[in-house]
Amino acid sequence: MKDYDVIIIGAGNGGLAAAVTLSLRGKSVAVFEKHNLPGGCGTSFRRGRFEFEVALHQLSSMGTSENPGPLRKQFREYGIENQIDWIEIRDLFRVNLPDGRGYTIPADRRKAEQSLSESFPEEKHSIHRYFDTVWRFCEEANAFAEKSAASSGEPPALKKLIMKTLFPKLYPTLAKYGLRSTQDVMDEFFKTKELQLCLSAYWCFMGMPPNRFPFSILAKCTYIYLTDKPFYLRGGSQVMSQALTETIRKNGGDVYLSDGVAEILLKDGAACGVIDEKGREFRCKKIISNISPTMTYTRLLKKNEIPFSARDYLKPYTVGISALTCFFGLDCPPEELGFTNSFTLNYDSLNANEDFLGAYSLLPEHDPIVATCYTVDDPEGSPAGTSVITAGSLKYSAPWEALPPEKYHEMKFKAADIIITRLEKQYPKLREHIEELEIATPLTHMRYLTHPGGAIYGYEQDLKSSVFFFPTESRIPNLEFASGWVNACGFGPNYMYADKVAKRIAEEADVK
């Protein structure tokens, strides 16, 4: 039996980053991971000549090496920045509309504004006003976040009243837009549906339709991707996961693969260790759970140990969306099919909110299709003359969970068939060029992530449960959370949030 300062449950992005941060500060850490690979969502798999990225589309917050963003700085501190070949992605995305027209948004604020103004000249002024608002909103949000980080605890009553009066004056844009839906804000700025779809595209990164997607997340996505540019990396996200794993080991930490945590041990109601799947007991001062709070409480504690307050606390949070994805290895280069952008969002109608309701059904008949052709920006990522595309839509797991097992494979094939048929309207002859095809359903995500609902973005990130309301708090002393379930989901946000949690834990330990 070994004792550790901190035990981390799950080698997902948050778990790995937390472990590196702690190990760099001299803390002894162990990461336990059920799967045989580290990374959680940050992984890839092989079929035939191809390697398929599972989750990463565009890495945010990187910036350039001369002008590093916060994530690059974190990787620099970890010593992994230069181990990895970073690939800057040219465009944010392309939106393909049902009339066959498509709009590409360059990854540069001025160019994006210009290109959109040319496509929608009648709304030129609104476009500029919108981008100004997004920038002001993010700057105010950053300033406010810095200010709140500096203060701790509840201020006295009088100060509270003053703050309440001052807040809308000091942070007017934040106050006006901080808790509104994307659709609401789009309607305020733009008349043209097409333009709204071009600017709201990031809803698909959080799995919320525009009428429920918090504008503040959209604004932040737009701002960070345009400021720090979207990035990919040679070899895909498994390379980052592996680099972090090796860094933990180099710093003296342990990463146990194919060895999940089976049970959290409590002493007087506080976490004090774990039992792993092999039945071994490990003691620690702190536990960081990189898995969902739901599974942490319900799977790793005995039923009578789950605090009532935790059950109550998690009530406003609904398990979020999963995905249905086809992974294509094609025997032709991207341009032969007409893929000119890596990240595309394909709509069958202009009513994204209506189409999104397809997410509750089994098959992707009308759902917007997200397609990523990695080869466009990373031509060496697959053999010469081939391309790799992942395409699919966001799906809730319920209809897939309800499926009788004997129907499963048939429905998987049917779903893929629909996706291909729909994509062929935009990219003819896609089917003819398929050399490898793998299909992942919500049940596939459930299998590999052990997340309820096969959720890929944690709890639903709607207005009432994200941004200001993430369920960050733990109801068990010495247990903390760091994952996309308790923070904005995505690679960058998870690495950075885990770093923050780990730094705080390291500091608290040092004070003691």
Q: Contacts with another protein in 328-357 (CB under 8 A)? A: 331
Q: Specify the amino acid at residue 57.
A: H
299 lies in the binding site for another protein (CB under 8 A): yes
The gap from C-alpha 309 to its chain's centroid, in whole angstroms, comes to 28
CB of 331 to another protein, least distance (A): 5
What CA dihedral angle connects 218, 62, 77 and 380, to 10 degrees?
130
Instruction: Name the residue nearer to another protein (CB basis): 73 or 180.
Output: 180
Helix residue ranges, H only, 261-301: 293-300
51 lies in the binding site for another protein (CB under 8 A): yes
CB of 109 to another protein, least distance (A): 25
266 lies in the binding site for another protein (CB under 8 A): no
Q: Contacts with another protein in 81-110 (CB under 8 A)? A: 83
473 lies in the binding site for another protein (CB under 8 A): no
Instruction: Name the residue nearer to another protein (CB basis): 135 or 144.
Output: 144
Q: Strand 86-88 vs strand 91-96: parallel, antiparallel, or unpaired?
A: unpaired
Q: How far apart are CA 206 and CA 493, in angstroms?
A: 12
Instruction: Name the residue nearer to another protein (CB basis): 120 or 327.
Output: 327
CB of 119 to another protein, least distance (A): 30
Task: Give the contacts of 268 (CB within 8 A, at least 6 positions apart).
Answer: none
Q: Specify the amino acid at residue 177.
A: Y
Q: How far apart are CA 155 and CA 166, in angstroms?
A: 14
List Cα–Cα distances, 21 to 261, 390, 420, 496, in angstroms.
21, 32, 43, 10
The residue range among 69-77, 205-213, 341-349, 432-440 that interacts with another protein, by the rule CB under 8 A, is: 432-440
157 lies in the binding site for another protein (CB under 8 A): yes
CB of 304 to another protein, least distance (A): 11
Instruction: Name the residue nearer to another protein (CB basis): 169 or 512.
Output: 169
- DSSP one-letter code for 303: G
Q: Contacts with another protein in 480-499 (CB under 8 A)? A: none
CB of 157 to another protein, least distance (A): 6
Joined together, the tokens standing for residue 45 give 């798999």
74 lies in the binding site for another protein (CB under 8 A): no
Q: Specify the amino acid at residue 481.
A: F
CB of 277 to another protein, least distance (A): 9
> Contact 230/341 with Cβ under 8 angstroms?
no
Q: How many residues bind another protein (CB under 8 A)?
A: 77
Q: Which of 166, 2, 15 is nearest to 482 (CA)?
A: 15
Q: How far apart are CA 80 and CA 430, in angstroms?
A: 37
Q: How far apart are CA 1 and CA 395, in angstroms?
A: 43
196 lies in the binding site for another protein (CB under 8 A): no
Task: Give the contacts of 378 (CB within 8 A, at least 6 positions apart).
Answer: 87, 232, 234
472 lies in the binding site for another protein (CB under 8 A): no
The residue range among 37-45, 59-67, 96-104, 482-490 that interacts with another protein, by the rule CB under 8 A, is: 37-45
446 lies in the binding site for another protein (CB under 8 A): yes
How many C-beta atoms surround the C-beta of residue 104 within 10 A? 19
CB of 120 to another protein, least distance (A): 26
- Please identify which residue in 146, 164, 268, 384 interacts with another protein, judged by CB under 8 A: 164
The gap from C-alpha 302 to its chain's centroid, in whole angstroms, comes to 30
CB of 276 to another protein, least distance (A): 13
Q: How far apart are CA 96 and CA 63, in angstroms?
A: 28
CB of 408 to another protein, least distance (A): 6
CB of 112 to another protein, least distance (A): 26
Q: Contacts with another protein in 204-263 (CB under 8 A)? A: 234-236, 238-239, 241-243, 246, 257-258
295 lies in the binding site for another protein (CB under 8 A): yes
One symbol per residue from 305 to 324: x for binding another protein (CB under 8 A), - otherwise; what is it?
-x---xxx-xxxxx------
Category of 291 on φ-ψ map: left (φ > 0), alpha (ψ -120 to 50) or beta:
beta
